[in-house]
Structure 1
Amino acid sequence: MYQRPAIQFCSLCGHATRHAIPDDGDTRVRAICTGCGTVHYQNPLNVVGAIPAADDGRILLCKRNIEPRWGKWTLPAGFMELGETASQGAARETDEEAGADIEMGRLFSVISVPRVGQVHLFYCARLRSDILDPGHETIEARLFHADEIPWDELAFRTVSVTLQRYLEDRQAGLTQVHSIDLD
Structure 2
Amino acid sequence: MTVKQQADFKLEIPHGDDRERRVCQSCDFVDYQNPKIVAGAVIVQDGKVLLCKRAIEPRKGFWTLPAGFMELGESVEEAAAREAFEEAEAKIEIDRVLAVYSVPRIGQVQVMFRAKLIGGYGIGPESEESGLFEWKDIPWSELAFPTVVWALTDYAATRDQDNFAPFANPEGTDALTR
TM-score, normalization: structure 1? 0.86
Is this contact kept in 2: 1:146–1:167, CA < 8 A?
Answer: no
2:91 equivalent to 1:105 = no
In angstroms, what is the RMSD of aligned CA positions? 1.4
Aligned position for 1:175: 163
Q: Tell me which of 100, 104, 113 is aligned to 1:123.
A: 113
Structure 2 partner of 1:37: 28
Q: Deviations over 1:91-133 (max 9, x none)?
A: 100000000121122111000111211111101111111x212
Cα separation, 1, equivalents of 2:116 and 2:169? 23
Q: For residues 4-29 of structure 1, what are the alpha-carbon distances to aligned partners after superposition, in whole Å with 9 as ceiling and x for unaligned?
A: xxxxxxxxx74111111112x11111
- Between the aligned partners of 1:142 and 1:152, the Cα distance in structure 2 is 16
d(CA) in 2 for partners of 1:132 and 1:86? 21
- Unpaired runs of 5+ residues, structure 2, are none
CA positional deviation for 1:33: 0.7
Percent identity (aligned) = 47
**Uncovered stretches (5+) of structure 1, i.e. residues with no partner:** 1-12
Q: C-alpha separation between the residues in 1 aligned to 2:6 and 2:125?
A: 35
**SS of residue matched to 2:87:** helix
1:174 positional shift: 6.0
TM-score by length of 2: 0.89
- Report the CA distance between 1:68 and its aligned residue: 0.6
Please list the CA deviations of residues 55-113 of structure 1 after superposition, one character each: whole Å capped at 9, or x if unmatched: x1111000000011111000000111111111110110000000012112211100011
1:14/1:126 Cα in 2 relative to 1: closer, same or farther (>3 Å)? farther
Are 2:59 and 1:69 equivalent residues in the alignment?
yes
Paired with 2:37 and 2:118, the residues of 1 have a C-alpha distance of: 26
Partner of 2:124: 135
The structure 1 segments of at least 4 consecutive aligned residues displaced by more than 6 Å after TM superposition are none
Counterpart AA for 1:28: R
Aligned residue type for 1:58: K
Amino acid at match of 2:77: S
Distance 1:150 1:175, change over 3 A: farther
Matched AA of 2:147: T
